[in-house]
Every structure is written in C-alpha cells, then in structure tokens.
Amino acid sequence: MSLSVKSLYFGCIALLLGSCAQQGMPTGGEKDTTPPGLVEATPANRQTSFKGNQVVLTFNEYVQLNNPREQLIVIPPIDNKKLEVTARRNKIYIRFNQPLQDTTTYTINFREAVQDITERNPAHNLKLAFSTGPHIDTLIIRGRVVHHLTGEPVENCIVALAHATDTTDIFKHKPRYFTLSDKAGNYQLDNIKKGKYLVYAFLDKNKNLLVDSQSEIFGFKSQPVELIHQNLDINLSVLKLDMRPLKLLAARPVGNVFLIRLNKGFLDVKLKPADTLVTLYYSFPEPSVINLYNTFNLTDSLAAQLTCNDSIGNKIDTLLYIKFARQGIMTDKFELTVNGVRYYDTKNMIIGKINFSKPVVRTIADSIFIHADTTQSIRFESSDFTWNETRTEAAFSKHLPVPLNFEQKQQRKPAAIARQGGGLAKAAPDYRHLLNHIIIAKGAFISADNDSSAMLTSQIKLLKPEEFSTLLYEVETNNLCIVQVTGKNKLVASSTGHSGRFSELPPDTYRLKAFIDTNENGKWDWGNFYLKQEPEPVWFYYENNTFDIPAKANWEVGPLWIRPPKDVDK
C-alpha cells in the first residue's frame, strides 16, 4: 500500500472514530412532548405490608428532578430533613430517614417533581400509594377552592384534613392529610382513613403547613365531616380573616397628631371625650392607625374613650389620656380631590364627591360655585353636602335654579401677560368666568390642622341617558342582602333588597355580587374559626362560564338572576 493510500485510510478511520466518540444532542425533528412513563415501582402501587425505607421508581427514559421539596407531597407528612430524593439516569430514589408509622397508608403525589431531561416534560398524574399494614385506605374527598369575595378559583391552595377534636387548632397544628388545588381550583385527597375530620384550605405562603391568618387567606367548614364508607364532595372558599386578638400597640403624640396604633385593621371606631363636650377630629391613614388632630387648646391631657371592633367581633374599650406635642410643628399639606362631578340634564341636578387628606372642621359653602353663564353664578350651601363620620369625604348633590348649557362657548379669559425683570411672563389663569366647572375658591375648607384648601376646579360632565346603560338584578333569596356592581375590581355602586337596578353606568364590563345576611342581624358577618362560624355567603351573577356582564350605551340588561352557586358549598 502506498504512503498516500495509507494516509487516506488512517484519516478516514480517525474521522469515523471521532464521530462515534461525540455524544451530542440530535438536531432537527419534531419537539419531544411525551412525558416520562413509569415502568416499575418498588413498592408497587397499592402494595400492603411494606417494611422498607426506600421507594424506587423506574421510567422509560432518563429523568431529572424539579424542586422536589415543594413539588413532592407525602401523606402523612414526613419531615423534609428526613427525606432524601435523588435521580439517577431513569430512576428516582426516595429514602425515608425515619421509621414509617405502623398500619398506615402512605401516598406520594409527585405533581411536577419528575421531568424528562430533553424538554422537561413532567410525568403525568404520577402518584403512588402503599401501606405498612395489611390493607390500603381508599376513601376520597374532592372538590373546588374559590375566593369567597370574588368567586375566582384559587391555585396552589392547600386543602387539609385534621383529626376533629376539641383542641384542634389550624393555627398551631399541622394537618394529617393535605393536597394542593390546581389552576381551576380543583383538588382531590386520596387514600384517607375512616374517621372524623376538620376540613380547611389556606394559601401557605411561608410553607410551614400552618395557617397564618395575619398574611394568608384561608377558609374552613364549621362542622367536622365523618368518613365511613362513602367518598365526599366538599367545596371551600377562602378569604383574608385575621384571627389574632385585637390589641392596642401605641397611643402617643407624633408630630402634630396623637397617634393610636392597633395590631391589625378594624371595622369601626368611636373616640369620644370622657367628660367634656369637645369635638374630636380624626382620620385613618392606615387600616390599623388613627390620627387624632389638635383642634382644642388644652394644656393638660384630655381623657377620651376609645371603642373599637374588628371583623371577627373582638373589641377594645379603653380610656386614653391624650396630649399633644408643642405647637408649631410642620404639618402635612392639606389636599383635596374632586371626583365624579356629573350633571343630570333631565333632573337639572349636579352630584359629585370631594375627598380630603385631613378632617375638615369648617366649610365656607358659598366659596364653592358654578358659572351658569357669563352673568349668573350658582353658589353652594351647607345643606348640599353630606359628610362621612370622620369628615374626610363629602358627597354633594344640588338642584340648580337654572339649567346648564353645554353648547355655549367657554368665556375663560386668557392668562394676562406681565413684565417681570425686563422679560415677559404669564400670570395665573383667571377662572372667574370658567363655564360648566365646579370652582372651589381658596380657603373654602379649613382642616383640623387649621390650614386652608387651595383653589381647585373640576369639569362637570354632562350625563345623557342615551350614553349610559342600566343593569337590572334579582337575588334568589328570602334573606336580607346587599348587592354590589363592580368594574375593573372597583366598587361602582351598591344597593339593598332582593331586586333593583343600577342606572347611569358608563359602557364597560361589570360584575354583580350579593352579600347574604343569613342570620338577619342587619350586617354581613366575616365568620370566626374559634366560634365555628363560616363567613356569610357571597353569591355572584355567573352565566355562560363567566362573571362578566358587558354593558353598552343605551342598553338595559336584565333582570340578571343572582342565585346560590352550584359548585361551592355555603
């Protein structure tokens, strides 16, 4: 063989050997969408009298683990620190570094813990059940979890069972059984032992298997359920319900206010002087904070009675001694906003709302006015305003002596030109002739800090009936109820009664819900776990698989029936 032929021969051999040695991923072809398939399990599914301390799963392809500490659910629970989970080629190994309980059915739900190594496809519905005793528990509880105040499904919510005893406390004790809800809110608890259980659900943010009512939404069934021979369908709803006792954390002067801080939010507050006729002005800058303003010049402390309730019926009733820091401290700016100013031409009436950053102690009503035309102004009176309890919000409603003309041309004067320092500068605009606006002159409102409001104008919107829609509703209940219409998760309007209408709604998409007063105490109750009281029902208008109600201009929709939900127990 010649040298050149030899060189060519050995070059080809080297090229072939190099090609065989490369272990690269093949390119091209269709994407792998097939999940790993379980070939063998040790112990086998539903095996009894298992005495080992390791589970081995064999798959039809190489697999890897995906966050097994969160994805893997072992029932009854086993300490994560005593559970080893490893993947080697096409096998998953689970080692229990603690003795398993005698005569107990264990279930392992892998969720998405096992995936293939090419496209990370998770093994589908991978579960394993085995027993350390002579038989397998087979009872099942299934259902759905939704949010109590929205009706929407809640994903990754823990649904739990605890043995029902007089001392069971879901805030201190971990559950016997638990699982997680899926995207549709559905859940299923398998292989449950006969017994009586407390059923509850919670969004376990800190992953400690305990309900933290301060930060986690939760829900519960007020009465235990008993599993004997029949599987159960149980639906749950969850909401934020802070079960901590109501406590006073601080009561002291801070800056220009006397600050009262509680450990959580409250529903209602009454703060009254103990032995004087002084009027107290206060606001709520945060859900758990009360700011009391110094509207009286007392050198000594003032005794005041604080009465406060939270959503679960806890109450504080205590005497406070109020004293303020020295005068002259810089105060926050006094600000106001005007919202929803509308003119009803069919009624010749104007309505709207003003919100204030501080309580208002005095109003100069005639400093608030409307120019009907270039010669006539309409001024407000004190009787045109309705104030909330803390005087931080004023709703106004006024019948006008003359109609407003939205066709007339604005007569607002242009800004004057003034010479300053040799140059030209624009002076402040003159609003005295601004038409179809509500004009709030400077100093129209005096706050509890004795500062006055700045000048403000807000355009009046003409409300034409043909530009709006109406929703008619009926609630299928004999109980008292409050019905709310919401848009973009914001409250638009509310009404009481089994039937009614919401008129003058701008074209949009809305939702309807009814708060049902089942105990007929004149209010909607949030519930109380310790008293075994579930929150009172909230029903939703739900048709054609949606909560949404499209409303167009010049439409009247309804009557829309709000009925007891079929898929959530109440």
Domain of residue 225, CATH code: 2.60.40.10
How high is the mean pLDDT of the chain? 88
Q: For 16-25, 262-271, 431-440, which range has the lowest pLDDT when averaged over its residues?
A: 16-25
Nearest of 211, 458, 262, 429 to residue 341 by alpha carbon: 458
Pairing of strands 225-227, 63-65: unpaired
Q: For 7-21, 397-411, 526-540, which range has the lowest pLDDT when averaged over its residues?
A: 7-21
Q: For 43-52, 91-100, 134-143, 559-568, which range has the lowest pLDDT when averaged over its residues?
A: 559-568
300 with 341, same domain: the answer is: no
81 conformational bin, left if phi > 0, alpha if psi -120 to 50, beta if neither = alpha
pLDDT at position 6, please? 43
Q: For 97-111, 323-337, 519-533, which range has the lowest pLDDT when averaged over its residues?
A: 323-337
Q: Who wins on pLDDT, 297 or 191?
A: 191
In the predicted model, what is the mean pLDDT of residues 495-512?
Answer: 93
Q: What are phi and psi of 207, to 5 degrees?
A: 55, 45
Residues 523 and 517: their CA atoms lie apart, in Å, by 6
383 with 285, same domain: the answer is: no
Q: Rounded to the nearest 5 degrees, what angle is found at the Cα of 391, between the Cα atoms of 390 and 392?
A: 90
Asked whether residue 243 is domain-assigned, the answer is no
pLDDT at 519 over 70: yes
Residue written as tokens 């829309």? 560
414 with 377, same domain: the answer is: yes
pLDDT for 219-233, tens place per residue? 999 999 999 989 999
385 with 489, same domain: the answer is: no
pLDDT at position 409, please? 67
92 with 110, same domain: the answer is: yes
413 with 449, same domain: the answer is: yes
222 with 273, same domain: the answer is: no
DSSP conformation class of 435: B
Asked whether residue 33 is domain-assigned, the answer is no
175 with 256, same domain: the answer is: no
Residues 430 and 434: their CA atoms lie apart, in Å, by 8
Residues 171 and 213: their CA atoms lie apart, in Å, by 8
343 is written with which tokens?
């003119």
DSSP conformation class of 535: P
Asked whether residue 454 is domain-assigned, the answer is yes
pLDDT for 104-154, tens place per residue? 999 999 988 999 998 999 998 899 999 999 999 999 999 999 999 999 999
Number of domains in the chain: 5
Residues 79 and 75: their CA atoms lie apart, in Å, by 11
Tell me which of 218, 238, 258 is where a domain ends: 238
In the predicted model, what is the mean pLDDT of residues 457-471?
Answer: 89
pLDDT at position 331, please? 76
Tell me which of 131, 149, 169 is where a domain ends: 131
ω into 224 cis (within 30 of 0): no
Asked whether residue 7 is domain-assigned, the answer is no
Q: Which domain holds residue 100?
A: 38-131
pLDDT bracket for residue 101 (50, 70, 90): very high
Specify burial of residue 391 (Cβ count, 10 A radius: 0-12, 13-18, 19+). Answer: buried
383 with 397, same domain: the answer is: yes
pLDDT bracket for residue 504 (50, 70, 90): confident
pLDDT at 26 over 60: no
453 with 341, same domain: the answer is: yes
Asked whether residue 281 is domain-assigned, the answer is yes
Tell me which of 217, 238, 259 is where a domain ends: 238
H or E element: which one contains 551? strand 549-551
pLDDT at position 31, please? 76
pLDDT at 464 over 90: no
278 is written with which tokens?
């002084």
488 with 555, same domain: the answer is: yes
68 with 87, same domain: the answer is: yes
Q: What are phi and psi of 21, to 5 degrees?
A: -75, -20
